[in-house]
Amino acid sequence: MVLSQKSSFHLLLIFFIPFLFSSCKDSETKEDEASVETTLEKTVPEDLKWSERMLMSEIYRFPEASKLDFREEPKWSYTNGLVLKAAKQVYEQTNKKKYYDYIYDFADTLITDDGEIRTYKLSDQNLDMLNSGNVLLYLYPKTKEERFLTALKTLRSQIDTQPRTPDGGFWHKKRYTQQMWLDGLYMGEPFYAHYTQMFSEGEKAKEAYDDIVHQFELIQEHAYDPKTGLLYHGWDSSKNQKWANKETGTSPNFWSRAMGWYGMAMVDVLDYLPEDHKGREKIIKYLNQFAEAVTKYQDKDSGLWYQVLDQGDREGNYLEASGSSMFTYTFAKGVKKGYLPQEYLQVAEKTYDGILKNLVKVEEDGVVNLNQVCAVAGLGGDPYRDASYEYYVNEEIRSNDPKGTGPFILASLQLDK
């Protein structure tokens, strides 16, 4: 059969039209899928500042602030106060109510209607527990909830009954007899000073401020090493601990996070110490000595600090995130407040860049992870922690420990990154 030219054209159309339609449809579907993919919201948007990105990541990991620090049950602990201090500042910068709600939820969960603090025992005389009192010092003036004030008074009463060394230094905990730790300066003194500023006056306030400054004087007197300018993690006034030097009472090593706690203690307590108090000059002097000493041990390539500060070349030592973040915060805030020379801002910037390059990883959904954080380190206890080099470098290392993420957020805010 011979087909006309017209018939041939019709047959071609019948054959190709479904194919063309199918191709167009496939093309449109792919474009639609691509469009949906690009418009899908990430868990943590990447166009925000690092401070907010990390806070959002923490809220994603721990939707209940009372369970920060990988807890299955709500707990009153110092790490909550550390992250929520950062959350408070992010809230003040962004005015996003979800951050305030996150802070409030912690207090609402752990403070009963009668003002009792769930999971807290005054009889433990544990300085760590005072740090989350800063959350209540923030919330009480806003909410005027009587239960928050009652809880604050309980925490403040701990200071009056805290056991002390013969020269007046707070024991770190009741069970750590005669011991001052650098950590304790951060846990206790900013809360003590802030509470005093809010609720005390006259001679009572002066006595409290003098007592606060005295804690710094004592740790400088007993834990300071004149050779390096660094401070040892702890000091045992009785010199009975196995870790204690029999002549000086100090522990044998310089732990980066302990020094980090101490640096943050100084820049934070100065927020509340009156301008005319003679102790301000003393603490600023200690801070400058601290900055000079710590900077000597900064890793030149990465800008970070090692877990055991002065032994970066030893096997097993590693660049640690929490200490590095704490030093960044301390230096940046110290410069901004006029306590430290401008050069330390460059030190902070270098460290911060090093953290982003070496220790931060962003997931596909935008969630931010901070790696290489020492999970915990202490002195004595059971099993016994001997404060040796081997002890510090063999403690657990984990990602997103709040003792790293909190200071990372605080450092990010100071540097406005």
- Report, as residue numbers or ranges, the catalytic residues: 183
Between the alpha carbon of residue 223 and those of residues 70, 166, 264, 317, the distances in Å are 32, 16, 17, 22
Residue of 405, 415, 401, 328 whose CA lies nearest to 71: 401
Cβ neighbors of 118 (< 8 A, separation 6 or more) are 74, 76, 109, 110, 111, 112
- Cβ burial of 93 (10 Å; 0-12, 13-18, 19+) is middle
Q: CA-to-CA distance for 25 and 12, rounded, in angstroms?
A: 20
Q: Per the structure block, which two tokens stand in for 265?
A: 């203690």
Question: What is the DSSP code string of 94-115?
Answer: H--HHHHHHHHHHHHHHB-TT-
Residue of 319, 261, 212, 308 whose CA lies nearest to 79: 261
Strand-pair partners of 361: 369
Question: What is the DSSP code string of 110-137?
Answer: HB-TT--BTT--GGG--GGGGTTHHHHH
Q: Per the structure block, which two tokens stand in for 291?
A: 């900055």
Q: CA-to-CA distance for 398 and 199, rounded, in angstroms?
A: 40
Q: CA-to-CA distance for 51 and 168, rounded, in angstroms?
A: 38
